[in-house]
Amino acid sequence: MENDEYMFNPGDFVVYPTRGVGQITEIKSENICGQNLEFVSVSFNKDKATVKIPVSKIKKENTALRQLASDSVMDTAVRVLHCKAKIKRVQWSRRSQEYMEKIKSNNPIALAEVLRDLYKDPEKHEQTYSERQIYDQAFGLFVPEYALVHKIKEDEASAQLSSILKNRNTPTES
């Protein structure tokens, strides 16, 4: 978390790695095996799931749950999307692992790097199945947070981001 003093509240939108944006539905204590543990319940509308996360896990350094990105972080992520793709000259298996680590990092700037590097205009280029799967996963995680930060609907956010990617420069190899 960016601020150690921040405490989550019911109704807050948060981001959970590999699931994306969810909303806190409740914070409550439960007695489990004789111990009182406090949990944050997060609801994900997209896949109709609820996840309970122990508050003790949230307060650790490598927290799985974070608040929405700030405007400045999201602006930096969008600037990344405007850049040329940076495709490393390594085997696909290695690059795909790096992309998946970026997705799991729960960092919007890292997600933007994945989108930047894997975007291919469908009218000009073909993506492999695995490239498309990773791209779709990153896009699906990025769009809802972008929409909430910019206070727009998800379909509008999707169209804006697709337009940015389509109109940027051509890829370079590093």
pLDDT by position in tens, the chain (length 174) = 344 445 789 999 999 888 899 999 999 998 888 888 889 999 998 888 998 888 887 766 555 788 999 999 999 999 999 999 888 888 999 999 999 999 999 999 999 999 999 998 777 778 899 999 999 999 999 999 999 999 999 999 999 999 999 988 555 554
- The model's pTM is 0.85
The domain segmentation of the chain, as residue ranges, is 13-67, 71-173
Topology of domain 71-173 in CATH is: Methane Monooxygenase Hydroxylase; Chain G, domain 1 (1.20.58)
Note every long-range contact of 147-155, with CB atoms under 8 Å and residues 24 or more positions apart, other chains counting. 148/13, 148/21, 148/68, 149/68, 149/69, 149/70, 149/71, 149/74, 150/74
CATH class of 13-67: mainly beta
